Structure 1
Amino acid sequence: MEIRVLKYFLAVASEGNITKAAEVLHITQPTLSRQLLELEESLGTPLFVRGKRSISLTDSGIMFQQRAREIISLIEKAEREISEENQMVGGVVSVGCVESMASLIMPEAMAELSNKYPLVRYEFYTADGDDIRDELDSGSIDFGILVEPVETSKYEFMRLNVKDKWGVLMRSDDKLADKESIDISDLIDLPLIVPRRTIVKEEIMDWLGTGSEQLNIVASVNLLTNAILLAEKKLGYIVCIGGAYMIRPKDGMKFVPFSPEKTSGHVVAWKRNRIFNSAARLFVEQIRQLAGEEPDTGK
C-alpha cells in the first residue's frame, strides 16, 4: 500500500466529495476513483458510501481513517527528524505530561534548551498516564512525564526529584475545607470523584483498606478540568494530587492533603531502543540536569 494512496483516501474523507478532493490533489477524478476502488479491493471491504453528490465513510472507513492519519503523522515526523539531523541543531521535541507539579519542570527545561538552541520546537500533549503511554507506544511522542505508580517495564526512564501530595479538592465553603488535613477514613461516606486509571484506583483502595464497592464513587475522570465543574455543583469530592490543582488554582476551591501523608513520585519515560533526533537527545539531558537523577532503565 503506497503512502500516496493513503493521502488520496484522507483527502476524499475530508472533502466528502471526489471531485473536490481531485482538485485539491491536482489529479483527475477518474484516476482518484480508480485508486480508491483498488484500495477497497486490497482491503477486502468498502470504505465509502457513495451518494450522487457526496461520499461518506463506512464503519470500516472510519477505523481506517484513524490508522491512516497515524501512519502519515509518523512518516512526516520521521521525515522532519531526518531532515533536521542534517542541519544545525534544531528540530521538534514531542512531550506528553500529566497534570502535576512535574509540569513546572517542562517550561524550565524548554527555556534552558531554547536559549542554547533557538531552532528547537516543541509539541506538548496533556493527558493522564494511560493516554500518554498509548502515545509513547505508537511513537507519536518522544517522552512521557508520568506520575507513579506506573508500569515502566517496557520503557527506559529516569525518576524526577518531584513529589506530589495526594488529598481532596473541594469547594472552599465546604465544612471539610477548614481542616488542615483529611483523614482517609473521612472519605468512606463521601461522594467521590476519582482518577480513571485502574492502577491509581487500586492504590487509593489500598490506602483506605477497602474495596471500591464500599465507596460512593460518583465519577471517574482523566483530567481535573471537568472534575472541578462537578465539584462546584456539589456532586462530589475530588481525590487527586495537589499539583494538578496548584498549577491552575480556581477561586472557590480548596485542596486539603491527606493525613497520614500520601505522596507520589514522577518519571520521564521513553520507548526502549528509541533513536532520537539531536533536539530530543539534548532535551532529555536537560531534564536529567534539572532532575539531578541518573537514568533508570528498570533493569
Structure 2
Amino acid sequence: MGSHAAPKRRGRALWPSMSLLLLVALVGVPRAEGAPVSADACRATGTELPRGDCGPFWQVLAEDFDGDRVPLGGFRDCEHRVDTSAAYCGGLRGAYRDNWWAYPTGWRDTAGDRGRDVVGVYHPEDTVSVGPAENGDGRMSIRMWRPADGGPVHAAAVVPRAVMQMKYGKYSARIKVTKLAPGYKSAWLHYGGGCELDHPEGEWTGDLTAFHHPCGGGEQGYFPGADDWTEWHTVSTEWTPGHVRFFVDGRQVGHDTRDVPNRPLSWVLQNESALEGPGAAPGSSAQLDITWVAAYAYDWK
C-alpha cells in the first residue's frame, strides 16, 4: 500500500516570496516547439537524460549527476525552512544546494508509525552521495544501512527543489538497485490533503509498483509495473487535471481519474525501511542508484 513519512515538526507553511520566485522562474523557461506527443509524452524510455519540452509539459529540471561530486556528509544541516520551496541543506554548495533538499536527520520514516520491529530514521548525511560509477556514469547513490548493534535503519528522502509545491507536471527518473538486501524499500510520492500518488513503490526484494490513493478516500489504485528493482528502469508519473498516469520504460502501467489531486504537492524521492516482509538485518545495507532525473511543469494552455 502507499506510504509517506510521518516526521515530527513537519512545517506546512509556504514562503510566499520564494513561491513567487519559483513561479517566475518556471514561466521564464523557454518552450521547445513541435515536441512529439505519445502515450508517454516525453518518450522517456532510454538511457539518456531527456532534454527539452514534450507534449503539454515544459522541462524545469534536467539532472544527470555528471557535474560536481557530493561526498557523504554533503547532505547535512537540512533543517532550514523545511517542506517549503525555500528549504535547503546547509552542507551543500553550488547547483546542488540550489536544486536539492533532503528530509533532515532525525525524522522518522513510515515504519515508525506502522508498528514494525525494524524502523528507520532519516540520515541524509551518511546515506546520500553524488559521483561517478565505475564506468564513469554520474549517479546519485542512496545507500541505506542498519547499524551492527541493531539500531534503526539509516534512511534517505531527497527532494528536487524546482518542483516543490507544484501543481501537476511530469516526473521521470532512471533507477536501479545496485545492491540488494531484505528490509529496504522506496516510495517516491506526492502527498498532502488526503491525496497521494506513489511511483515507484515497493520493497526492493519485491515488485516495482505504482499506487493512487484518491483524495476523497476509497479503494486505492494498484498498478504493477516491473518485477525486478535490480534492472535499470525509467519510471515516469504524468499528473494532469483529472488524470494520473504511470509509466515504466515508456509503457503505461496505470491510469486513474478518481479524485486526482488539484493542489500543489512536492515530489519526494523517499527511500526507507521495509513495511512488509523481514526487517533489515543488523549490519546490512542496500543501495539504489539514480542516473538521471527530469521534471516538467504542465502547460495550462
TM-score of the alignment, normalized to the shorter chain, above 0.5: no
Scaled to the shorter chain, the TM-score interval is: under 0.3
Q: Quick check: which has more Rg, 1 or 2? A: 1
Which structure shows the bigger proportion of residues in helix conformation?
A: 1
Which structure shows the bigger proportion of residues in strand conformation?
A: 2
